[in-house]
Amino acid sequence: MDRLDSSLIALRRILRATELFGRELKQAAGITAVQFRVLQIIAETGQVTAKEIAQRMRVSQATVTSLVDKLVRDGMAVREKSALDRRQTNILVTDKGRQTLSEAPDPLQQRFVRKFSELDDWEQAMMVANLERVAAMLDAEDIDAAPVLHTGDIKRATDA
Amino acid sequence: MDRLDSSLIALRRILRATELFGRELKQAAGITAVQFRVLQIIAETGQVTAKEIAQRMRVSQATVTSLVDKLVRDGMAVREKSALDRRQTNILVTDKGRQTLSEAPDPLQQRFVRKFSELDDWEQAMMVANLERVAAMLDAEDIDAAPVLHTGDIKRATDA
DNA sequence: TCCGTTACTTCGCCTATCGAAGCAACTGGA
DNA sequence: TCCAGTTGCTTCGATAGGCGAAGTAACGGA
């Protein structure tokens, strides 16, 4: 089954690339891919609750606490008690966080964007169709996937 | 750029699927994806040196030591000083390790294999071509990728 | 013999992640 | 009104993966 191997190898290369770029991101921007993803989620709407981050990233609240701790420590985000429901904590992105987001764009995504743009129209269409098909084959259809790459940057909208 | 978004989303779904299945593997087989990958490398030839594992997985030797420690602790592998060069340590897979490998096949890979096999011939060919193209776009061409999926299961043959 | 290199381990450190336990605040009864 | 249960978050203690630096042992050449 030669083509099967080829496709699996290609998939692994794709995974590998995302992993390596996660490391690059960390070195270049001083922020890990996971923290970057948290920052993105915060910045989307300007503020979110810890629970929402946990749900979207599919990690526990305990994990979110520690991730936000690091962002706060590094001045990327701040916590603020919600006035409406004081159990909740709103997490806000700071100027520095916003700056980090804009200055440390995902190199993997950038590379992909650039090369994708260079494709012919029909090639783009075909590639989209194929990637979606592969995703479906991996049974990942119920995933709430925002258009950002990162191994750690993965979430699901509605849970089982 | 609608198609760009679609393709990025599909990619993220693929990454997400691999991550989720890593967690499944851990629960089902009691072994993490990374350790599983180490075990695979050992089992390929029956024995390898720590250095080889480090190179193939692209992690430091210190990391390999700790990974192998866990495999040894769990009875999956054993260390054995090389007779030829006593600086080297050969790592061997045990029966239990072999059993784990065979009984805990990658569910993600299995799913992909099954669905891939159901495709028409021309569909398979097209999918391979597309995946390889995506991998190339991510600049992952120099990667020594064995046909096994797993986020943590990623390596590179020749380094920069 | 001795010095440099190689192979591996140890040590200390970091991040990501979790479950359980704890605490504070909201909410629905009675 | 007040208590009990739920909800949101943090704290605590673990585990895993990962790294660099330092340490140890063995090889190998001069």
Output the pLDDT for position B101. 87
For residue B28, CA distances in Å to A157, B22, B49, B104 come to 24, 10, 28, 8
> Are B10 and A112 a contacting pair at CB < 8 A?
no
Cβ atoms of B154 and A16 within 8 Å: the answer is yes
Q: What average pLDDT does the segment A28-43 reach? A: 86
Q: What is the percent of chain A with per-residue pLDDT over 90, rounded to a whole number? A: 31
Shortest CA gap A58–chain B (Å): 10
Mean of pLDDT over chain B: 78
**pLDDT tens figures, A82-118:** 888 999 999 999 999 998 888 765 656 667 778 888 8
- pLDDT confidence bin for A15, thresholds 50/70/90: confident
The CA distance from A2 to the nearest CA of chain B, in Å, is 10
**pLDDT above 60 for A147:** no
Residue A160 has pLDDT above 70, yes or no: no
Return the higher-pLDDT residue of B73 and B148. Answer: B73
> What do you get for the CA distance between the two ends of chain A, in Å?
34
Residue B107 has what pLDDT?
Answer: 57
**Residue B109: both structure tokens together:** 């890979």
Domains of chain A: total: 1
For the purposes of burial, counting CB atoms within 10 Å of the CB of B10, is it exposed (0-12), middle (13-18) or buried (19 or more)? buried
Q: Which two tokens stand for residue B72?
A: 């040894």
Chain B residues in contact with A153 by the CB 8 A cut-off are: 12, 15
- Asked if strand D comes closer than 7 Å to B62 Cβ, the answer is yes
Question: Which positions in chain B touch A140 (Cβ < 8 Å)?
Answer: 13-14, 16-17, 20
Model confidence at B135, pLDDT cuts 50, 70, 90, reads confident
What Å distances lie between residue A92 and A34, A131, A154, B145, CA to CA? 17, 34, 21, 41
The top-scoring range by mean pLDDT among A148-157, B24-33, B85-94, B100-109 is B85-94
CATH code for the domain in which residue B143 is found: 1.10.10.10
Buried b (16+ CB within 10 A) or exposed e, A135-156: bebbbbeebbbbbbbbbbbbbb
> Is residue B144 within a helix (H) or strand (E), and if so which, with residue range?
none
Q: What is the pLDDT of residues A55-82, one digit of tens each?
A: 988 889 999 999 999 999 999 999 999 8
Pair A66, A54: CB distance under 8 Å: no
Show the domain range for A28: 3-159
**DSSP, res B93:** E
Give the separation between CA B147 and CA A159, rounded to whole angstroms: 30
B71-B74-B76 Cα angle (round to 5): 55
- The 10s digit of each residue's pLDDT in B147-157 is 444 443 332 22
Q: For chain B, how far is it from start to end, CA to CA, in angstroms?
A: 33
Task: Give the percent of chain A with pLDDT over 70.
Answer: 75
CA–C1' distance B83–D27 (Å)? 13
pLDDT recorded at residue B48: 93
